[in-house]
Amino acid sequence: MTDSESLRRRTVLRAVGTGLAGVAAGSGVAAGAPARDAESDVSEAGVDRRAQVTTTAGDGSDGDGGDEPVADGNTWRQFQADATNSGHSAATGPRSGTVAWTYDTGEPNESLPTPTATATRSSDDYAGVLSSPAVVDGVVYVGSTDGSVYALDAASGEERWSVATGDGVLSSPAVVDGVVYVGSHDQTLYALDAASGDEEWTFDADGNVFSSPTYHDGAVYVGSQAGTTYAVDAASGDELWASSTGQRVDATPAVVDGQVYVGYYRPDNQGGIRALDADNGSEVWTLETNGAVPCSPTVADGVLYVGDYGGAVYALDTASGDGIWALTLSDWVLSSPVVVDGTVYVAGYDETVWAFTAGRGPDAGSTEWSYDVGASVLSSPAVADGVLYVGSSDHRLHAVDIEAQEALFTVETSQQVFSSPAVTDGAVFVGSNDSLVYAITEDGEAPSTTPTPTPTETPTTTGNGPGFGPMAGLAGLGLGVWSRLRGGDDPDGDDR
């Protein structure tokens, strides 16, 4: 099968009435992605809350995430680009892909012109890059399971500095105002000087910090695997508030309009979404989902999008937590969504990237098209200038033209790609479980590092202004080796 043949359109089966198995009335179910039984797949509370809003769905909203993109051409400040987990940039990324350089976070710690010199290691000895890069002022910041945080020259891949923590760094850095914020499995949130790597402060959490920190309005929001969501003063490292469910938080918080949205999950593979007041951490609403929610939510135009271990994809009202629509795929949804120009892109363990109609309109949740990756997807997509980039367990980075619905290119690594890509003008940066950080450009030339002036942080609103456009997310992924690396068990007890 060719790349272009792997793109296929699928017919949408529209649901009518509140009795639809596994989804809200009026939502779309993709052909080839069977809906699950209502009793086993959707909690009683979840069905009731979603049904309440079906009569108001179809208000004419087109679901557009906004007119302006959320990140400039040469900056990708934090996990999925911004505080809304948008995964969208004003950059013009590459439309063909050649490796410009790689950096090896395992021995001997050096940048290489091609990935051909990848070291061979046993699964117990390797250093995987599951962390997603941040790119600011010509420097790539990323963590590794070897326990270190790295700052690499974006043009050459040469190491600027590295800082060792007490355990693996699967968290993705956030870089704002010359400070790098990143979590570690040593139960610590670090603030490091972006130029030197010198420690500014550390914050002790009550569990491993797999969650990636989200910077917004002078505060850093992050979760712990002991089940606590924290707000920490970005300047001092002092705790502003802590809110605990006692359930595991791997998700990266989305922070929009004074509220913090975060997923959680329990050992029994159940979980949900919480909305917290950004000022004091008090709970605004909570919704139990069909399954655990280790992935990060995405917010666009007052709608929160998220997937779960039950294979469900949800669109929720951000103010109330009420359901707008929901649908069920054939396997786990561990990647976080992206919303661009009225379409929500969702990648799943069903080996597919799906494009659904976003928003609240009558067609919301219907299938627009899908791309057959050929292997499970745990990486969260990034979108720039009409191209979707995503990693896969087939060891590749995939690039798909979302208008033509055609595969543009793939770049092969030596191991699974769980890291989520960061896109700047002419370049994509991504990690792989082979211990390497990859810089990919159209012709293999050095990535551009011309600084683009940006605000201290991207504004986040639910209107059509800057800072709210399309959205995405990544976060928790948890299967097999990924589950073991992040410090948890496969929720179903299998090692798929």
Q: What is the pLDDT of residues 31-53, one digit of tens each?
A: 343 243 322 333 333 323 332 22
Distance from C-alpha of 32 to C-alpha of 205, rounded to nearest angstrom: 43
- In a 3-state reduction of DSSP, which class is residue 1? coil
Rounded to an integer, what distance in angstroms lies between the CA atom of residue 77 and that of residue 454? 10
**Measured between alpha carbons, how far is 389 from 386 in angstroms, rounded to an integer?**
10
Least confident of 85-94, 116-125, 384-393: 116-125
Model confidence at 18: pLDDT above 80: no
Judge whether 307 and 314 are in contact, CB under 8 Å: yes
Q: Distance between CA 288 and CA 266 in Å, rounded?
A: 11
Is the pLDDT at 1 greater than 90? The verdict is: no
- Rounded to 5 degrees, φ, ψ at 44 are -55, -45
Residue 69 clears pLDDT 80, i.e. is over it? no
Q: What average pLDDT does the structure give for the chain?
A: 78
Rounded to two decimals, what is the model's pTM? 0.80
What is the pLDDT averaged over residues 460-487?
33
pLDDT at 329: 92
The pLDDT value given to residue 376: 94
Say whether pLDDT at 473 is over 80.
no
Using 50, 70 and 90 to split pLDDT, how confident is the model at 126?
low
User: Residue 2 above 60 pLDDT?
Assistant: no
CA distances from 91 to 48, 80, 155, 364, 466 (A): 42, 14, 16, 28, 15
pLDDT at 200: 98
Angle at 56 between CA 55 and CA 59, to 5 degrees: 135
Task: State the average pLDDT over residues 333-348.
Answer: 93
39 or 204: whose pLDDT is higher? 204
User: Per residue in 364-407, pLDDT tens?
Assistant: 999 999 999 999 999 999 999 999 999 999 999 999 999 999 99
The answer to whether residues 462 and 58 touch, using CB atoms and an 8 Å cutoff, is no
Confidence class of residue 71 from pLDDT cuts 50, 70 and 90? low
> Is pLDDT above 70 for 486?
no
Distance (Å, whole) CA 324 – CA 314: 8
pLDDT of 326 over the 70 cut: yes
